[in-house]
Amino acid sequence: MSRYPQVFLDFQIGTQAAGRVIFELFNDVTPKTAENFRGLCTGEYGNVGMAKKTKKLHYLNTNVFRIADNMLIQGGDIINNDGTGGASIYSQTFVDENFSRRHACAGLLSMANRGRNTNNSQFFITLKPCPHLDGKHVVFGQVIDGIEVIKRVGQVPVDMQDRPRIPVIIINCGEVSESKNWLICDPFKKEIMDEIHRDRLKALYGQEYLDELDKEEEQKLQALNPEKFKQQSLENEEEKNKQLLVEELLMKTKEDQEQEEDSSEGLDQFEGKKFMTQKHKERYLGLKKKIQQSKVLNDKAVLNEERQNTDAQYDKNLRKGKYLQKKEAEKQELQFKQIDEDKDYLNRMTLKHDEEQEKKKEYFGWDVFNEDAVYNAYKKRCTTLAKDEGKYKQQMENNQEFVPTNEALERLSSDITKQQDRRKEFSRRRRFNEDQPVTYINERNRIFNKKLERFFGDYAADIKANLERGTAS
């Protein structure tokens, strides 16, 4: 568990739930600011104002009233709900606490203000690094889960004043621990969360794992209260028997209806078309089977969409489940091939390093004099300067000085002159074309005319032709 308090905000874009964002509050450096935000999330500090003009100190049902282009989203006006007001749990405003934390990345939670020491309930969440806000706004928290929801809110279209054209509302907020207790107390929410949790475990570990968990719970219940366990087991058996009877009756009625429909459809189609062969009949039945499969897949898609709307972490858990399945499949494949995981990792890293080194060796265009090219040229030059092994051994045996012969010196000098000639011929500049017309007076004017021709040559072609023909008006 984190040492910092955690709160959550549930966003809604238009009529569709966008998801949940969980924040971590820095109560060590900015305790007063963190407590202000936490109290406004839970709504435990009551109301502000007098008589009929009281407002609850709570972020519930407030709007996100500003979305700056790819920079930040701003909300938290609990008074006017449009960015012109605000209040804190201390008073209307409170002073700036600490500017030590910087707006260095996306997902930082910071206080909005109208100058020094004018903090209230308004806040903003960064969508990218904002160093120009350092020293002006107090950073007191960060997003630890749901950054994709913040980015989704940041993509909402806005008007000329950065106000969202589609309403973005905070439909729920609170402290993370309190939200868990609320889910436990609400039986309807608890059933939904239990069902989603069971589906998640089934996707990750399979049905056998769920059966083992159910057996363990039954054993614990039997050990704690055997009489209650017997009564509950009898009730469960009665309910199961009732469900089986209902399912059997429904299956019978469905089978009867399907048989009647099949018989009627078959009579209508097969009797009306006596020329249909067995191949046509099989094709008809296959198409009918595909239609039934598509209905089942559509029902599954509807269920997944409902779960996605109820669970703010559905997309994240789905990606995590796919990643774990992929890792498990790779692990089983390694076990089947009897390969150690550490050795496989080292082999993959070695191959990756070799591929990167091979990519570095590739050169193009102006990258002519890199290390590999120079080394290859050196090896090529060494082949022309082959030594005489016989004379070399003779000099070694007679303890003579290694004096090169006149032939070797001539070969070396001719090779050096060839290298110098090749260097003179080599040039990175584009060669001059003598056939082109001279339209310049110096090198600078030539380059300028070339740029003019590149950008305006197509447009000036007709004017040039008219001037040459003498038909220009």
Contact 198, 44 (CB under 8 A): no
Distances (CA, A) of 188 to 192, 204, 445: 6, 25, 82
pLDDT surpassing 60 at residue 262:
no
CA distances from 4 to 29, 38, 332 (A): 11, 11, 40
Torsions phi, psi for 268 (to 5 deg): -65, -40
Lowest mean pLDDT among 29-43, 168-182, 344-358: 168-182
* pLDDT, position 307: 74
Query: Radius of gyration (Cα) for the chain, nearest Å?
Result: 39
In this structure, the answer to whether residues 131 and 57 fall within a common structural domain is yes
In this structure, are residues 37 and 175 in contact, taking their beta carbons and an 8 Å threshold?
no
Query: Is position 204 within any domain?
Result: no
Confirm whether 142 is domain-assigned: yes
| Burial letters 339-373, b for 16+ CB under 10 A, else e | eeeeeeeeeeeeeeeeeeeeeeeeeeeeeeeeeee
Give the tens place of pLDDT for each residue, 38-53: 999 999 888 887 656 7
Task: Please tell me the least confidently modeled range out of 30-34, 156-160, 208-212, 308-312.
Answer: 308-312
- Tell me the pLDDT of the chain averaged across its residues: 80
Same domain? 18 vs 106: yes
Is the separation of the CB atoms in 72 and 124 below 8 Å?
Answer: yes
The two tokens of residue 184 are 């436990």
Same domain, 68 and 98: yes
Judgement on whether residues 412 and 448 belong to the same structural domain of the protein: no
Give the list of residues 6+ apart from residue 417 with CB closer than 8 angstroms, or none: none
- As beta bridge partners, residue 68 has 72
Same domain, yes or no: 385 and 473: no
Find out whether 114 and 154 touch, Cβ atoms under 8 Å: no
Separation between Cα atoms, residue 439 and residue 453, nearest integer Å: 11
Residue 89 CA to residue 36 CA, distance in Å, equals 6
- Write down the pLDDT at residue 210: 73
Among 58-72, 92-106, 314-328, the least confident range: 314-328
| pLDDT band with cut points at 50, 70 and 90 for residue 213 | confident
Nearest residue to 86 via CA among 49, 52, 43:
49
- The arithmetic mean of pLDDT across residues 444-467, rounded, is 87
Same domain for 463 and 403, yes or no, is: no
Q: Which residue has the higher pLDDT, 165 or 205?
A: 165
Q: Kindly state the DSSP code that residue 441 receives in the 8-state scheme.
A: S
From residue 23, how far is each of 71, 73, 112, 239 by CA, in Å?
18, 15, 17, 44
What kind and span of H or E run contains 171? strand 168-175
Count CB neighbours of 129 within 10 A.
15
pLDDT bracket for residue 130 (50, 70, 90): very high
Residue 91, burial from CB neighbour count under 10 angstroms (0-12, 13-18, 19+): exposed
Q: Are residues 85 and 161 in the same domain?
A: yes
The whole-angstrom separation of Cα 140 and Cα 133 is 14
Domain shared by 106 and 74, yes or no = yes
Local structure of 193: helix, strand or coil: helix
- Give the CATH number of the domain where residue 163 resides: 2.40.100.10
Q: Which regions of 26-138 does DSSP assign to beta strands (E)?
A: 47-48, 55-56, 64-68, 72-75, 108-111, 123-126
User: Could you say which of 185, 213, 242 is where a domain stops?
Assistant: 185
- Residue that is last in its domain, among 185, 215, 234: 185
Quote the percentage of the chain above a pLDDT of 70.
76
Across the range 437-447, mean pLDDT stands at: 89
pLDDT at 254: 53
- Residue 401 has a pLDDT of 73
Strand 168-175's sheet: what is its strand order? 64-68, 72-75, 123-126, 108-111, 139-145, 16-25, 6-13, 168-175
Same domain, 411 and 470: no
**pLDDT(348) > 60:** yes
pLDDT at 165 over 70: yes
**446 within a domain of the structure (yes/no):** yes
**133 is a domain residue:** yes
pLDDT at 386 over 90: no
Distance CA 268, CA 392 (A): 103
Q: Residue 355: inside a domain, yes or no?
A: no
- Could you tell me if 409 and 449 lie in one domain? no
* Residue 193: predicted pLDDT: 58
What does the pLDDT average to over 160-171? Answer: 92
pLDDT of residue 428: 62
Boundary residue ending a domain (161, 185, 209): 185
Tell me which residue of 207, 205, 204, 194 sits closest to 320, measured CA to CA.
204
Which residue type, as a one-letter code, is found at position 347? N
Q: Which of 86, 75, 37 is nearest to 164 (CA)?
A: 75
User: How many whole angstroms separate alpha carbon 59 and alpha carbon 56?
Assistant: 9
Residue whose entry in the numeric block shows the structure tokens 């621990």: 177
Contact 110, 23 (CB under 8 A): no
Query: Per-residue pLDDT for 253 more than 60?
Result: no
Q: Which is more confidently placed, 362 or 77? A: 77
Residue 74 belongs to some domain of the structure: yes
> Does some domain include residue 151?
yes
CA distances for 166 relative to 59, 66, 278, 287, 408, angstroms: 19, 11, 58, 43, 86
pLDDT confidence tier of residue 339, bands split at 50, 70 and 90 = confident
Rounded-to-10 torsion of CA 40, 42, 46, 47: 40
In a domain, 13, yes or no: yes
Indicate the number of domains in the chain. 3
71 and 19 fall within a common domain: yes
Residues 19 and 60 in one domain: yes
CA distances from 299 to 201, 248, 290, 308, 377 (A): 21, 22, 14, 14, 68
Lowest mean pLDDT among 40-49, 172-181, 382-391: 172-181
pLDDT for 108 equals 95
* Whether pLDDT at 270 is above 80: no
Q: Greatest CA span in the chain, whole angstroms?
A: 118
Res. 10: pLDDT tops 80: yes
pLDDT-derived band at 258, boundaries 50, 70, 90:
low
pLDDT for 121: 93
**0.85 exceeded by pTM:** no
Q: pLDDT confidence of 181, banded at 50, 70, 90?
A: very low
Alpha helices in 311-340 (DSSP H): 314-337
| Residue ranges making up the domain that contains 167 | 6-185
